[in-house]
Amino acid sequence: MKVVVFLALLVAAVSARDVLSTLAKGVGHDPQWPSFVSFALQYGRKYPSVTEAAQRFQIFKTNEARNVELRKLNPFATFGVNKFADISQDEFRRTHMGLNMTTKPKNMPKFWKHKHDIPPVKRNAQGVPNDVDWFAAGMCTAVKDQGQCGSCWAFSATETIESAIAIKQGGNPPTLAPEEIVDCDTNDGGCNGGDPRSGMNFVAQEGGLDTENSYPYTAGQTGSGGQCAFQQSSVGGDDSGASDVSDGDENALQSFLQSSGPPSVCVDASSWQSYTGGVMTSCGCSIDHAVQATGITSQFGQPAYAVRNSWNTNWGVNGFIYLAIGQNTCCVANEVSWANGAAP
C-alpha cells in the first residue's frame, strides 16, 4: 500500500513538472518565469494542463505588478510571493473572505451597507495608546485557517466567543467549532458569507457552540457547509449574543482593547492577499472580511493594531497583519463587536 501511494505521489510530481516544462518552451524567456516555477514547486502546485498553468502564470504576473503599487502606497509594509500568488483577486475574494457579492445573507444590515458605497463614519484616534497583547496573554486560541470557504465571519464570531470565555475564567480559551456556525446558522450564508454579530447571536439562540474536536472544520476543503450536526452534549462554550463596540470610532476600539478584550472587527481586506509583513497605512473602506483585533503594538516604531487573520500561520506575520493607528486603516474601527455573557 505504501509503495502504491509513493508511486502515485511521484507520478503527480513528475506530471506537474512536465506541465511546467512544456509551458517553459513558450514563456521561459519571461524574466518572471523562474520566480513562478520556484513558487509552484514550493507550494506544490499541480496544474492539470498547460492551459491552466499559463493562466496561473499570467495571474502571478498581475499580482506581482499589483505588489509594486501596494509597496508605494504602504511604505512601511511588505508585499510579495506567498501561497496566494497565483489566485486572482476575484477568485480570492470569493474563496477566502466572507461576503457573497450578489446575494445579501439575512440579518446583516450594517455589515452589508458598507459594501454598497454608503460613506462610513470615520473618527480618528486621539493620542498614542499603550501596548496590549491579548494573544500573548493566552486569551486567544491558535491562528486558524478558513480554507477555501467564505466563512471568515464564522471564525471571527468563534474566536471572539473563545476569548470572551478565556477572559471570564482567567485564561485557557476553549477551542470551539466554526463549522457549527457555517452548517447550522440559517440566517447567514455559510461559505457565501455572513456577519460575525449574527453568528454570535446564532450561538446564543442555538444553545451553545460545540468544541472543535467534536465538530471538526471541513468546509475549507469542500468550499461548502454540510449538514447541521450540533450536539448539545458537546457544547464547549456559549454566549448571550453580540454587542456593538465601535461604529467608526477608533477611540472606542482602543479603549476596548486596552480594558476589555480582543473583539471581532470587520475590514477591507482587498489589499491583504500578498501582505508579508510590516504596517499597513493605506487601505480602502469596502468592508469584505471579518477577523479579530488582538492588541496594540509599537514594535514597528509606530502604533499599530495587531490583527489575527484566519488564513493560517503561513500567511502574513505568523497569521497576523498590522494596521496603522490614527487613520482607521482598512476601516478597522467601523464594525467592532463583542460576545456578551460568554461562558464555558
- Over residues 182-203, the pLDDT tens digits come to 999 999 999 999 999 999 999 9
Catalytic residues, by residue number, are 152, 289, 309
Q: What share of the chain has pLDDT > 90, as a percent?
A: 80
What is the pLDDT at residue 10?
32
pLDDT of residue 112 exceeding 70, the answer is no
| pLDDT bracket for residue 15 (50, 70, 90) | low
The overall pTM is greater than 0.85: yes
How far CA 49 is from CA of 2, 53, 56, 212, in Å, comes to: 27, 6, 11, 37
Q: Which domains does the chain have, with CATH numbers?
A: 2-73 (no CATH), 89-340 (3.90.70.10)
pLDDT at 106 over 80: no
In the chain, where do the E strands start and end? 77-79, 132-133, 209-210, 235-237, 241-246, 264-267, 275-280, 289-297, 304-308, 320-324, 335-340
**CA–CA separation, 336 and 344 (whole Å):** 23
Indicate whether 261 pLDDT > 70: yes
Residue at grid coordinates 480602502: 284
Model pLDDT, residue 29: 86
What angle, rounded to 10 degrees, do the helices at 50-73 and 2-27 form?
Answer: 70
Higher pLDDT pick, 262 / 27: 262
Q: For residue 230, how far is the Cα from the chain centroid?
A: 24
